[in-house]
Amino acid sequence: MKISCHCGNVVIDVDKPTEVTQCNCSICSRYMSLWGYYPPNEPLITIGADGIDSYSWGDKELEFMRCANCGCVTHYKTKPNTLKQKTAINIGLAREKIADVPVRIFNGAVEL
Query: For residue range 15-44, what is the model confidence (pLDDT) as tens digits?
Result: 999 999 999 999 999 999 999 999 998 999
CA distance 51 to 96: 24
- Output Rg (C-alpha) for the chain, integer angstroms: 13
DSSP designation for 3:
E
Full DSSP string of 20-80: EEEE-STTHHHHT--EEEE-TT-SEEEE-TT-EEEE--TT--EEEEEETTT--EEEEEE-T
Q: What is the pLDDT of residue 99?
A: 87
Whole-prediction pTM:
0.92
Residues in the chain, pLDDT under 50: 112
Q: How far is CA 101 from the centre of its chain?
A: 16
